[in-house]
Amino acid sequence: MAALGWLTPRRRSATARSVLAGEAAAEAARKSSLQLEQEREEAAATEAEAAEPEFPVVGDVRAAAFFDLDNTVMQGAAIFHFGRGLYKRKFFQRRELARFAWQQAWFRLAGVEDPEHMQDARDSALSIVKGHRVSELMSIGEEIYDEYMADRIWPGTRGLAQAHLDAGQKVWLVTAAPVETATIIARRLGLTGALGTVAESIDGVYTGKLVGEPLHGPAKAEAVRALAAAEGLDLSRCAAYSDSHNDIPMLSLVGHPYAINPDTKLRKHAKDRDWRLRDYRTGRKAAKVGIPAAAGLGALAGGTAAAVALHRRRH
């Protein structure tokens, strides 16, 4: 048997066994420590997530939401759609329709507001409605909404507005479009109301002039500030939504600014300031540079076709 002793494992010394036990305990301790640390981090994250108030905050009556209209709530510009409806009702001639068609195509392709185009559209609209009764245009505006605007509402943006309404908050449109048109759209969408450009009227008849200036850029911020003061709102708890860098003054007023279908400048500004961003347009190009791809191409084709057709008819 002695000859086979080398085949039988020798028992380790007490010192070796102690070292082995110590090393195993240390390894187990390290693993359990890491596991406990991970569990604590997960618990802290869950606690922080639970502590963060949902947005919009249900029942916060000092909070409200302000939505730009053109290309934020609705594809394209409301004033251009309104112009199409007025042309259909023979308020103006074909050459004006060609201008409206081209401006609308450009606006939807570029995805940004061009001050010169917008001013031209407003001047045209004012000259067209001059001498007409406000009540007449309101009635026609209801029809125009059904014909040209109802199918151009962005479902995603409408969902955001509905979330505020469901939370018990007021929701306002803020737009350079005529206040009458904006009010019709707000009512149809179930919103609280609208801030818009006010056209002068005397005894219920349009004079062809504006009260002040178009509600655009800084004027929107002033309108929101004035309404918030009148309504007792806390702007730091309010939200604002827009697609245009022209509305940065309005977006900067509130505690919860959102860039919706943003143009290039607003997208950069929003990313630099960590603002929330939503893009409901389709197409890789739209996501990259802020162009409403499919809709824009359709608008270009439609607008160009309309302009060409009118040109041929005139000549």
Tokens of 307: 């302009």
Residues, the chain, total?
315
Name which of 309, 244, 234 is nearest 270 in CA terms. 244
Dist. CA 234–CA 228, nearest whole Å: 7
Tokens of 132: 């007409």
Dist. CA 230–CA 80, nearest whole Å: 32
The one catalytic residue in 70, 243, 247, 263 is 70
70 is known as an active-site residue:
yes
Tokens of 308: 């060409």
Helix pair angle (115-129, 78-88), 10° resolution: 40
Asked if residues 158 and 280 have their Cβ atoms less than 8 Å apart, the reply is no
234 is known as an active-site residue:
no
Omega before residue 56 within 30° of 0, cis? yes
The one catalytic residue in 68, 243, 247, 263 is 68
Q: Give the max Cα distance, the chain.
A: 126
Which residues carry out catalysis?
68, 70
